[in-house]
């Protein structure tokens, strides 16, 4: 069952990547073929696309420093050296040649994230709230999930895939603006009027297509989260149950902080897509005797996340049920 689940997961990921890249290439090629015979349009289009690619690369390079500044990240101190040892063991079990550096974010909300690039190095960060509210074995399962993101090169994969909808969106914006300007400048009594209308129509069509492609990117992001969950379940002894408990505990503690008006929820949500789970989720203020009751309650729900299609993370109910498949390991 485990092998079959992983096979289906990988097939879904590879199919989504192939679909986004293939259709994006086809659409961009068709647009270039239609509009670039006009030299001035070609210059504007190529310049705009180059600008978007450069912006994404700059964000990728500067992102780690921005994240560390926002979350007040610091290296692990002597008192939390067990985190470094845990990540070393997990990295070794994962087949990584070098263990990611372990960091601590000065945030009260329990959560974790992986970040970095080839220049800054790859890092795994846990919040102060995670260390203070979760037992060590559950923290290790969370760390294994984050190490999974690094092993699977999710930072690079998601950056490359997310560029394509951005390119299509901005190409649509360029065509809309150029079409309107060309129409105003050229008047309506010549061929430029109909050409301008065509450019505007194509631009609006590309904006709609970019929105649809972004839904595929979000779907791929959710699949990558499942993939990292499976990594935690297969590299840490009893990892599936430990990660289930960790995810449930994060939701419960975060909900408690929200009820007392903690501002740290808003703070930690600034880069929500990075985190292991959405800190704004809630289980409805129910009373539970232990964390396993929370796990079973969440699994019993059809859904905990409204409009999952617009989320970077899987619905927790589906996520916990997915981890059930790995409990036999």
196 burial type by CB count under 10 A (0-12 exposed, 13-18 middle, 19+ buried): buried
Structure tokens at 180: 């309107």
143 burial type by CB count under 10 A (0-12 exposed, 13-18 middle, 19+ buried): buried
Q: Which of 146, 156, 293, 296 is catalytic?
A: 146
Q: Which strand ranges, in their side-by-side order, compose the sheet holding 73-75?
A: 73-75, 101-105, 121-127, 112-117
How far apart CA 133 and CA 129 sit, in angstroms, is: 6
* Residue 116: strand pairing partners: 122
112 and 272 Cβ atoms separated by less than 8 Å: no
How far apart CA 147 and CA 161 sit, in angstroms, is: 21
How far apart CA 286 and CA 294 sit, in angstroms, is: 9
Active site residue 92: no
Question: Could you tell me how many residues make up the chain?
Answer: 329
Q: Which residues form the catalytic set?
A: 146
């Amino acid at each position: 069952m485990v092998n079959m689940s992983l096979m289906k997961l990988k097939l879904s990921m590879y199919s989504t990547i192939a679909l986004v890249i293939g259709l994006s290439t086809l659409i961009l090629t068709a647009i270039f073929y239609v509009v670039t015979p006009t030299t001035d349009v070609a210059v504007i289009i190529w310049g705009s696309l180059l600008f978007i690619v450069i912006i994404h690369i700059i964000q990728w390079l500067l992102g780690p420093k921005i994240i560390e500044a926002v979350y007040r990240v610091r290296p692990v101190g002597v008192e939390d050296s067990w985190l470094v040892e845990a990540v070393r063991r997990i990295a070794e079990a994962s087949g990584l040649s070098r263990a990611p550096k372990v960091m601590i974010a000065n945030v009260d909300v329990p959560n974790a994230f992986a970040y970095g690039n080839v220049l800054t190095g790859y890092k795994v960060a846990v919040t102060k709230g995670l260390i203070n509210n979760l037992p060590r074995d559950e923290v290790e399962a969370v760390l294994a999930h984050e190490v999974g993101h690094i092993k699977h090169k999710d930072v690079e994969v998601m950056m490359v895939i997310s560029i394509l909808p951005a390119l299509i969106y901005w190409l649509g914006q360029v065509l809309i603006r150029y079409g309107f300007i060309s129409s105003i400048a050229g008047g309506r009594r010549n061929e430029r009027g109909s050409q301008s209308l065509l450019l505007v129509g194509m631009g609006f069509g590309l904006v709609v297509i970019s929105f649809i492609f972004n839904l595929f990117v979000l779907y791929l992001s959710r699949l990558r989260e499942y993939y990292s969950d499976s990594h935690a379940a297969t590299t840490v002894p009893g990892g599936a149950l430990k990660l289930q408990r960790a995810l449930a505990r994060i939701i419960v503690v975060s909900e408690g902080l929200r009820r007392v008006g903690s501002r740290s929820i808003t703070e930690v949500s600034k880069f929500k897509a990075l985190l292991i789970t959405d800190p704004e989720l809630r289980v409805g203020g129910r009373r539970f005797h232990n964390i396993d009751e929370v796990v079973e309650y969440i699994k019993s729900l059809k859904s905990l996340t409204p409009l999952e299609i617009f989320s970077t993370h899987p619905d927790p109910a589906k996520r916990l049920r997915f981890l059930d498949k790995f409990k036999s390991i």
